[in-house]
Amino acid sequence: MNTQTEVTTLDSLDYIPFLDDLGTISEDWQRKIGVYAIFDQEKVLQFVGYSRDVYLSLKQHLVRQPQKCYWLKVQVISRPSRTLLEEIQQAWITENQGIPTGNDGDKALWTDPIDAKLTMTSSEKQKYEQSEDLARIKLLKKVARRVEEDIKAQLTSRGVTMDIRFNPKIKEKGLLDLK
């Protein structure tokens, strides 16, 4: 972990496993302000982000992109400074000599709530179109729960042991995001 107020090159930071031996994200990142780079299994840069709570952001990314979160590099800063965080983020992307897909075309997959509606079957879509509000809400919750179970199965296969809880209030909109 590197805490400072100047830009550290991405190359100079060590790779850290995304999950520890217990199948969790290290709690050392809780309430830490910083910039993080996420790499896939082959250590190819997938996403560079920054956060006021690195732990919570990493947990969100793991849920949204479980097969792309294997390695990390993190620079922690002592005081919140959006300017510094953005400067570090941009420096790392530039150093990578190409914008990672998670910061470009796939950004929504990394940063937005999961849209379970995209997984609706044709019969579910037809039922949705023909239903009134209450029936639509029930159908969206059902679809969201199915996607939630799929995500939890992927996380279990990755060895994740952390408690993963989704916000129940947005399931009725067909969305999944951590609580």
Query: Could you report the average pLDDT of every consecutive run of 10 residues in the chain (179 residues)?
Result: 71 97 95 97 98 97 96 94 94 95 95 96 94 94 97 95 95 94
Q: How far apart are CA 173 and CA 157, in angstroms?
A: 28
Residues linked to residue 76 through DSSP beta bridges, in sequence order = 3, 34
Where among 111, 144, 167 does a domain terminate?
111
User: Same domain for 18 and 77?
Assistant: yes
Three-state secondary structure call for residue 46: strand
**Residue closest to 38 by CA, chosen among 108, 84, 100, 82:** 100
User: Same domain for 13 and 98?
Assistant: yes
User: Same domain for 86 and 155?
Assistant: no
How much is the pLDDT for 5? Answer: 63
Q: Which amino acid is at 7?
A: V
User: Is the full-model pTM beyond 0.85?
Assistant: yes
User: Same domain for 14 and 96?
Assistant: yes
How much is the pLDDT for 96? Answer: 94
Query: Which residues form the domain of 157?
Result: 114-176
User: Same domain for 18 and 86?
Assistant: yes
User: Same domain for 130 and 63?
Assistant: no
User: Same domain for 146 and 71?
Assistant: no
Where among 57, 82, 111 does a domain terminate?
111
How much is the pLDDT for 4? Answer: 54
How much is the pLDDT for 111? Answer: 96
Where among 91, 111, 131 does a domain terminate?
111
Sign of the torsion formed by the C-alpha atoms of 72, 78, 82 and 85: negative
- What is the count of structural domains for the chain? 2
User: Same domain for 70 and 144?
Assistant: no
User: Same domain for 47 and 120?
Assistant: no
